[in-house]
Amino acid sequence: MDQQQMTQAAIQASGLAKKGLQIKFGVVALALFLIGLILLGLMAPGPQASAAGCEDTGPGTDSAAPVSRSVRTATKSKGSIHDQQIANVKTIDKVARSLGLPGRATLIALMTAMQESSLINLDHGDGDSRGLFQQRPSAKWGTTKQIMDPTFAAESFFTGRGPNKGLVDIKHWMTMQPGDAAQAVQKSAHGGLYAGHQSTIKGLAKEAKVDLHQPGKATGKDKPEKASKTDTPASKQTTRCPGPTKDARTGNNRHDAGGTFRDGHQSWTLHNPRSVKAAISWAKAHAGANSTKQWGGWCLKFVAQVYGWTQAGVNYAIDHYTVVPKNMRHTDRHPAPGALMYWSTNHRAGHIAVYLGGGKIASNDILRPGAIDIVDAKLIETKWSATYRGWTPPVFPRAG
């Protein structure tokens, strides 16, 4: 090989070496780029509580009780909440049809049960309230065991029990608004909440293949069905009516259906549809694996519905703190279970959550977009860089 050939070979070898180095450098650069993306993803902040997410847009925005498809709660029944709801829809409809009542009666009963118990046969409630319709043994709706029988409870709602009137006893109930008819039976301190469930119930009824337009008579069959074995004999039923200042369903004075909230130093009378104990149970039953993902940013709306309201009546979560009376606002970090906690965020809306006790809150969006999870209260600050504002008793001055 002469000098010229050797020079040419050296040039070619050099070119191959350069290409090899370029490939190696390219692979290394690509790897570093991918690692950078992963690190950025890990270090990126979680979703922020946004103005759109922590608003409360007022009445009629959504159903007053969201339907969950995979929820377990403290009831005598088993299965997911959605499965229990469908089963109870069918039971209530079966009772209505056995009594010769029209589909409208089923609709009214289902709307009532959705508000009272989320259509779940609850073994707890305010005071001694139990079951689908949260009927009270002390108000002569039957024994606890009887009230916990969905068929018995539905019969009571339709035909009355003891001194309590049923739907068929309400004059012109078929021409009344469904929510008004429900209230005429339940005599709730918050009767306006029943109407908010009509669209949800229609969806559940369709899924359960229940005909809400089936024909029937306003008073049912001419001859009543044979009494249930668990029914209370007429000879043993009292005819004494509750006093006019009491809520016939709860036995409480109408203005304090929510009970009393205490923080160890002060106490306040609440006016919420749900008591603190019932509200905490409701929040837990709709959190974690039990949560639907419809709560994307609706922190204020969720908190209102925890206590039985359709909406809080305030546009932004942080503004709710300012509409609560000043003497109820606390800046310490020692709220009592059931209190409302507030944070300022880098968005106008701020954030609000229900304190469950033990340092835990029920909050939307904190772990999963749109879902409710139970987390440490301080996670709002560490994950969202929020500023803690304080807490108040669970009062809703503008709710409805």
What are the boundaries of each domain within the chain? Answer: 81-221, 260-392
Domain 81-221 identical in fold to domain 260-392: no
pLDDT value at residue 20: 52
The mean of the pLDDT values for the chain is: 77
For range 198-218, the mean pLDDT? 93
DSSP 347: S
CA angle 135, 119, 116 (to 5 degrees): 45
Q: Which CATH number does 260-392 carry?
A: 3.90.1720.10
Whether CATH 1.20.1250 fits 81-221: no
pLDDT value at residue 243: 30
pLDDT value at residue 285: 92
> What are 267's strand-pairing partners?
262
Q: What is the pLDDT of residues 278-297, one digit of tens each?
A: 999 999 999 999 888 888 88
With CA atoms as reference, report the closest residue to 200 among 58, 63, 104, 91. Answer: 63
Tokens of 276: 């603190």
CA distance 180 to 63: 17
Q: What is the pLDDT of residues 156-190, one digit of tens each?
A: 999 999 899 999 999 999 989 999 999 999 998 88
